[in-house]
Amino acid sequence: MDWLIFLVAVLAAAAIVLTLFAVGWRGRRQRQADIPRPRPLPEDLELPRFEADGQYVATTTAGDWLDRLAVYGMGVKSVATAAVFDEGLLFARKGAPDVWIPREDLRDVRLERGMAGKFVEKEGLVMVTWQLGPKRVDTGFRTRAADHKNPLVSAIKALGPESATSSEEQL
């Protein structure tokens, strides 16, 4: 009988914690309601310059890698492909809306150690800073193959972000 009481208590505690997470995420979405939806994917894209499979980590407020964007599914991890086109950058995500970043909205690209929900080895994440309406944001992407990181960064830099840097240039 004691184990049944213990089981009910554990299940009740888990339900309370999950409810608090849901309420917090809903509150975050309400606070971020003024953030515009990312632009739609153009219909007339050519073949990508470069593609890399990996994991879309999250989109956060630029410089505050714990402040995930809850709107439009942008704060949710997902398996994705990063594809660099002449017109911009696409994160084609499985199970979540794709994220299209037009070329003119790109601000920076670099390699970082981590962000909300993902911390890896030094220079393990490709971090893209871009303009989402009036808000500057960071999007993290972890390539499946380590040797795809630098070519992805180079392909994005070739689009001409205004202050594209990588940790290699900072040395």
In the chain, where are the structural domains located?
1-31, 50-170
Q: Which two tokens stand for residue 101?
A: 């970043």
Which amino acid is residue 169, in one-letter code?
A: E
For the domain spanning 50-170, the CATH number is 2.30.29.30
| Model confidence at 165: pLDDT above 50 | no
Reported as a single tens digit per residue, the pLDDT across 22-51 is: 777 676 666 777 788 888 889 888 899 999
Helix (H), strand (E), coil (C) string for 63-120: CEEEEECCHHHCCCCEEEEEEEECCEEEEEECCCCCEEEEHHHEEEEEEECEECCEEC
pTM: 0.78
Higher pLDDT, 32 or 15: 15
Non-local (6+) Cβ contacts of 50 within 8 A are 83, 84, 151, 152, 154, 155
